[in-house]
Amino acid sequence: MVNHKKYFLLILTLLASSLKGQYASVKERVTNLPNFDEKTIHYGYFIGFNSYDFKFEYTDEYYRINNYPDIQVNSTTGFNVGLIGDLRINRFFNIRIEPGLLYSQRDLIYPNLPLFNSENDLIREVKSTYIHVPLLLKISAKRINNFKPYITFGTSVDYNLSSNAKNTDDNSSNVFRTRSKSLNYELGFGFDFYLYYFKFSPSIRGVFSIDNELISDYDIKSPWTGNIKNMYSRGVVINFTFE
């Protein structure tokens, strides 16, 4: 979660600086791409980075009765790349599909409990390569010269190419398995900047899985999965789009 806060503060600082410059020049006369928003359909692409976490729900025995500490998640910065398809509804509403590839890695740090035999058992790497397909509604404010803020929300589906879902090994062989498909809801905001040749849009979005992604080990008393009822992905995605 520390990484998420850092990314959020970073994007706010960058956007605040941009906003200051835009409103300072609110009387400027040159309007870039004046008819851009009149297109019924247009396309683009995005690049960016992400930070993913897990939300755990534990069994009563683990969390309430034994009062064991939470599993910690160390997130590394991943990257995003993909395409954009935009359908104009009217002046303020657009429907967008943004299929892309997202890579992330999360290291699970288990508490040092008698359940584990060695220190190596306390760490599990969870690498994820998502084919990420969101369907979003974009709600924009009125354009001010070459600037326009917006919010987005919608749903998405993830296909995890690194899930190990079909692997016959489990954590006893150092293989952490997750489900290959999950559904999410998303919410975010961003800003459109109309440049001379194209539109540039930085945005930040939260991604929240609604499906349990955990595949339990074969041993129901496994120290890695036996005490977890549900495991959900939580992510912060920052994209820079070019349209």
The verdict on residue 31 lying in a domain is: no
For the segment 179-208, the average pLDDT, to the nearest whole number, is 97
Q: What is the pLDDT of residues 67-116, one digit of tens each?
A: 889 999 999 999 999 999 999 999 999 999 999 999 999 999 999 988 88
> What whole-number distance in Å separates Cα of residue 206 and Cα of residue 38?
29
Prediction pTM value: 0.84
Q: Domain containing 107 — which CATH number?
A: 2.40.160.20
User: What was the pLDDT predicted at 83?
Assistant: 98
Q: Which residue has the higher pLDDT, 23 or 120?
A: 120
For residue 223, the enclosing domain spans 2-23+36-242
Number of domains in the chain: 1
Torsion of CA 166, 170, 176, 178, to 10 degrees: 40
Q: What is the pLDDT of residues 5-45, one digit of tens each?
A: 555 555 556 555 555 554 444 455 689 999 999 999 999 99
The verdict on residue 70 lying in a domain is: yes
> What whole-number distance in Å separates Cα of residue 22 and Cα of residue 33?
16
